[in-house]
């Protein structure tokens, strides 16, 4: 599959996941889809998220994991490819590290 098509699918999944989470999640935390990692065969998509405040991270992660089936239905409705990738969710540790570096630079 072309690199362009893979990037297009990845961006579309990211947008669809962000829209779904924004609509379904409660107002107690801010959940951001930072990126989507698509497997080389396009059969798996790992949705990377960051959560603010950090104390709500486990609750937000659990919410998304419980709703992956509905998220997949949402993606299937709008993403016209076959087969739809199997979706996973993971906390974006790279983004957490970047935020921590920013905090340290501001303090220093």
Q: Which fold has domain 3-107?
A: GMP Synthetase; Chain A, domain 3 (3.30.300)
List, for residues 42-79, the tens digit of each pLDDT value: 899 999 999 989 899 999 999 999 999 999 999 999 99
Give me the residue spans of the domains in the chain: 3-107
Reported as type and span, the H/E element at residue 66 is helix 57-66
Lookup result for tokens 């999944």: 13
Q: How far apart are CA 83 and CA 50, in angstroms?
A: 27
Q: Are the CB atoms for 94 and 106 separated by under 8 Å?
A: no
Q: Are the CB atoms for 31 and 51 separated by under 8 Å?
A: yes
Of the listed ranges 8-12, 18-22, 80-84, the least confidently predicted one is 80-84
List, for residues 15-49, the tens digit of each pLDDT value: 999 999 999 998 889 999 999 999 999 899 999 99
Report whether pLDDT(108) > 70: no
């Amino acid at each position: 599959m072309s690199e362009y098509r893979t990037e297009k699918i990845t961006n579309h999944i990211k947008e669809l996941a962000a829209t779904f989470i924004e609509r379904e999640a409660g107002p107690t935390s801010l959940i951001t889809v930072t990126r989507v990692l698509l497997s080389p065969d396009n059969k798996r998509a790992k949705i990377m998220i960051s959560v603010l405040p950090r104390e709500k991270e486990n609750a937000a992660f659990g919410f998304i994991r419980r709703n992956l089936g509905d998220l997949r239905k949402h993606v299937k409705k709008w993403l016209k490819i076959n087969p739809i990738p199997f979706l996973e969710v993971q906390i974006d540790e790279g983004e957490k590290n970047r935020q921590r570096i920013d905090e340290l630079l501001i303090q220093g």
